[in-house]
Amino acid sequence: MTETLQLPTRRDEAWRYADLDALAPVWPDIAGKREEILVSAGESASRQLILEASDPNVAVETLAIRLEKNARFALHCLAIGADYGRIAVEVTLAKGAHFELGGAILGTGDQTLEIVTDVRHIEPGGTSNQVVRSVLGETATGSFLGKVSVARDAQKIDASQSVKAMLLDRTATANAKPELEIFADDVKCAHGATVGELDKQALFYLASRGIPPAEARRLMLQAFIADAFVSLEDEAAHDAIEAKALAVLEAIT
């Protein structure tokens, strides 16, 4: 019989912002469980993930992705319907591989939602791009913790992270912790994180053009989260996940 892993604590950096009280009742059932994905050399694959929950209202998805030489993988995810929801992604990239992440966190009430990534470039020539957008209202908490590590021999790496959060209420909380750990000396790695509110001047401009305030807010938020899904090439999948996101946005705004 496999021994259940111990419940994480806030001393574990990857669980710093998690709702551990909500996690505790379901931990014995989900501890150590993860979906493993292997993309063979030269192949391409993609996945869309919408994180929702029923009862108990806790959802945790963990993916372990391994990309062989020149493989490509695109993950587009949406964290929405859970009191506590977590998407955790571990990616290992071989030579010339590419990983693409587009994620959105949409929370309201007292939800706690997070996307946690650990992207490991272990061989030269790999690329990765992560784009995460959050819209948070009331007392919701949305977190992105993203680590990119580059091994000593993994030269010519190009990795980037773009993290932006929009607070609809001053009582909402956004946490962003992009992290780079680089041991190679010929790489191009960048990350950025911002937290803000809707631009009042932009809202005023739209109102001056006859657009009602509620519609103006919706249009601005739609454009904001669209960044997370622009890299989704499958038109039907793109429309489906964006429609789901827009339906949630309308409910929380």
Residue pointed to by tokens 């091994």 = 151
Helices (H) and strands (E) in the chain, counts: 5, 12
Where helices occur in the chain by DSSP H, the ranges are: 20-23, 27-30, 200-208, 213-226, 235-252
Report phi then psi at 40, rounded to 5.
Answer: -70, 165
Q: Which two tokens stand for residue 135?
A: 């819209």
Please give the pLDDT value at position 81. Answer: 85
pLDDT in tens, 21-38: 999 999 998 988 999 999
CA-to-CA distance for 224 and 218, rounded, in angstroms?
10
Q: Per-residue pLDDT for the chain (253 aa), expressed as one digit of tens each?
A: 345 689 999 899 999 999 999 999 999 989 889 999 999 999 999 999 999 876 679 999 999 999 999 999 999 999 998 899 999 999 999 999 999 999 999 999 999 999 999 999 999 999 999 999 999 999 999 999 999 999 999 999 999 999 999 999 999 999 999 899 999 999 999 888 899 888 888 877 787 888 888 788 888 899 999 999 999 999 999 999 999 999 998 888 7
* E runs forming strands in 152-220: 157-167, 173-182, 187-196
Neighbouring-strand partners of residue 104: 78, 133
> Cα 99 to the chain's mean position, in Å?
13
Question: Which whole-number Å values give the CA distances from 130 to 38, 56, 188, 232, in the listed order?
Answer: 19, 30, 14, 13
CA-to-CA distance for 198 and 54, rounded, in angstroms?
31
Please give the pLDDT value at position 1. Answer: 39
Q: Which two tokens stand for residue 18?
A: 């998690």
CA-to-CA distance for 156 and 148, rounded, in angstroms?
14
CA-to-CA distance for 73 and 92, rounded, in angstroms?
11
Kindly report the length of the chain.
253
Residue extents of the structural domains in the chain: 13-197
Neighbouring-strand partners of residue 117: 89, 146
Where helices occur in 92-211 by DSSP H, the ranges are: 200-208
Report phi then psi at 231, rounded to 5.
Answer: -85, 0
% the chain with pLDDT above 90: 77
CA-to-CA distance for 72 and 54, rounded, in angstroms?
33
CA-to-CA distance for 173 and 56, rounded, in angstroms?
23
* Cβ contact 32:62 at 8 Å: no
